[in-house]
A and B are shown apart, each in its own frame.
Chain A
Amino acid sequence: MTDQQFNRRDLSWHPPAFFERYRSTHLRAPQQPLLQMPQTQTELTGPTFGHGDIGLRDDDLITNYAAEGETAQGPRIIVRGTLRDENGRPVPGKLIEVWQANAGGRYRHVNDGYLAPLDANFGGCGRCLTDEQGHYSFRTILPGPYPWPNGGNDWRPAHIHFSVFGDGFAQRLITQMYFEGDPHIALCPIVQSIPSDEAIDRLVARFDMERTVPMDIRAYRFDIVLRGRRATIFENQMEGT
């Protein structure tokens, strides 16, 4: 096991805890600054997952909640990409969990009362592991935009939620994937809480014509980056051997 530290997180790159236009942050954003601490073995380690932890159809949201012989409603898409660290290295064998609304923008959740109908064949829950090259992919349907209570007329862009594990708990990340060309991206307070357009752009998946399957399914590409280990002389020597 390595005790090599992770790069410090650039907090100005991430959305601030408090964001005026995102009302839910008002009572939930800590008011004290985060206390910087050294990384210890606790933060440098984390849980590991294997193929025994996930089911055979966890990576296929089109069928994993559907009745036998049926499929979820909506435009069929493949979402694929590579999990890397900030040093550009692929991160293999890591658990990625996704969840999303159905094609009408409705979640299969006891607390979601949006008037769009549920799809009896869609659960909206998926999981996969990155392969040896850090690649992941899953099949799903294009989620719909949906309105949400934020004090005004607010709509979420179509999006897929991502939960990602790394080698150490310090790399733990939850984020959202958006779709290229969605006009709601520029209007959504949750997206716009991210300080720079450059950072927002990292969360926008690109349409990937090359990976579409003729007469079957379209494809989007979404690459994910986790914190990298700090470069050290020791590490360079390891690479040279």
Chain B
Amino acid sequence: MPLRESPSQTAGPYVHIGCTPQIAGLDQREMGSQLGTTMVSEGRDSLTLCIKLLDGDDAPVKDALIEIWQADPSGNYTPSDTFRNWGRQASDLSTGIARFETLKPGRNGDQAPHILVWLVARGINLGLTTRIYFPDEDNTSDPVFALAGARADTLIATQTVDGFEHIIRLQGGNETVFFDV
């Protein structure tokens, strides 16, 4: 290994300027499209996934950037015309909720349907990786889910009328499992 990885630094509170410029209030002149906002093409039924990040005081983190990466409903990671496997949203600056319109991932080998979540924010020195599993699936055979043991509950989303919601706790008794991948 002749080189070492560049050390990480926090994304800071103004990550939106670079990654979700519309949220920062930039009216973009001559800029390309904002990336990651649309996962599902128009006309295809999607589900709403709401992710909320809570700090050690149970207060919503309102300046996070959240990216998700997932298989399509057939379990594949190859983007198509109607589905992009990658999504990126900022936590809402007032509510702290990051809202994704996506599709439910399919099984991939011995892995139960899951979504990779990667998040950065002010006060987070190295981007955190976690997963979302689904309450209506058999997750017990999934090797990564099993690793979480008694804390695996923190990885399961809650069903809502139009999809799922998921709370990620950075600290406390119910701290979400974060992975060293």
**Chain A residues within CB distance 8 Å of chain B:** 6-11, 13-17, 19, 22-32, 34-43, 45-49, 53-58, 64-66, 84-88, 95, 97-100, 107-112, 123-127, 161, 163, 169-170, 172-176, 190-191, 193-194, 199-200, 202-203, 224-228
Q: Is B137 an interface residue (CB 8 A)?
A: no
A26, A173, A190: the one contacting B6 at CB < 8 Å is A173
With the chains together, A28 CA to B171 CA distance in Å?
7
| Contact of B6 with A35 in the complex, beta carbons under 8 Å | no
Contact A199 B7 (CB under 8 A): yes
| Main DSSP-derived SS at the A contact region | loop
A202 to B71, CA, bound (A): 35
Q: Are B5 and A30 in contact (CB under 8 A)?
A: no
CB pair B118 A64 closer than 8 Å = no
Count of chain B residues with Cβ under 8 Å from any Cβ of A? Answer: 79
Interface window among B44-52, B79-87, B95-103, B159-167 = B79-87
Decide: A174 near B30, CB < 8 A? Known: A34-B178, A35-B180, A163-B19.
no
B3 touches A35 (CB 8 A): no
- Report the bound CA distance from A33 to B155 in whole Å: 16
How many cross-chain pairs have Cβ atoms below 8 Å apart between A and B?
Answer: 267
Residue A125 contacts which of B17, B70, B125, B151 (CB distance < 8 angstroms)?
Answer: B17
State the B residues within 8 Å of A (CB): 1-19, 21, 24-26, 28-33, 35-36, 55-57, 59, 61, 63, 67, 69-71, 77, 79, 84-86, 93, 108-109, 111, 114, 116, 118, 120-129, 131, 143-144, 147-148, 151, 170-172, 175-181
**In the complex the two chains form, is B15's CB within 8 Å of A42's CB?**
no
| Chain B minimum-CB-distance residue to A25 | B123
Within 8 Å by CB of A123, from B6, B7, B26, lies B26
Contact (Cβ within 8 A) B111 A40: yes
Min Cβ gap B55→A in Å is 4
**Nearest-neighbor residue (CB-CB) of A198 within chain B:** B4
Is B93's CB under 8 angstroms from A27's CB? Answer: no
Partner of B9, one of A8, A32, A176: A176
Given the interface contacts A30-B178, A99-B14, A109-B17, does A86 sit within 8 Å of B5 by beta carbon? Answer: yes
Q: Please state if B17 and A41 are interface contacts (CB–CB under 8 Å).
A: no
A35 touches B5 (CB 8 A): no
- Chain B residue numbers with a CB within 8 Å of A190 are 9-10
Q: Is the CB of B31 within 8 A of A58?
A: yes
Complex: A132 Cα to B120 Cα, angstroms: 29
Q: Contacts A109-B16, A169-B116 hold; do A161 and B11 have CB atoms under 8 A apart?
A: yes
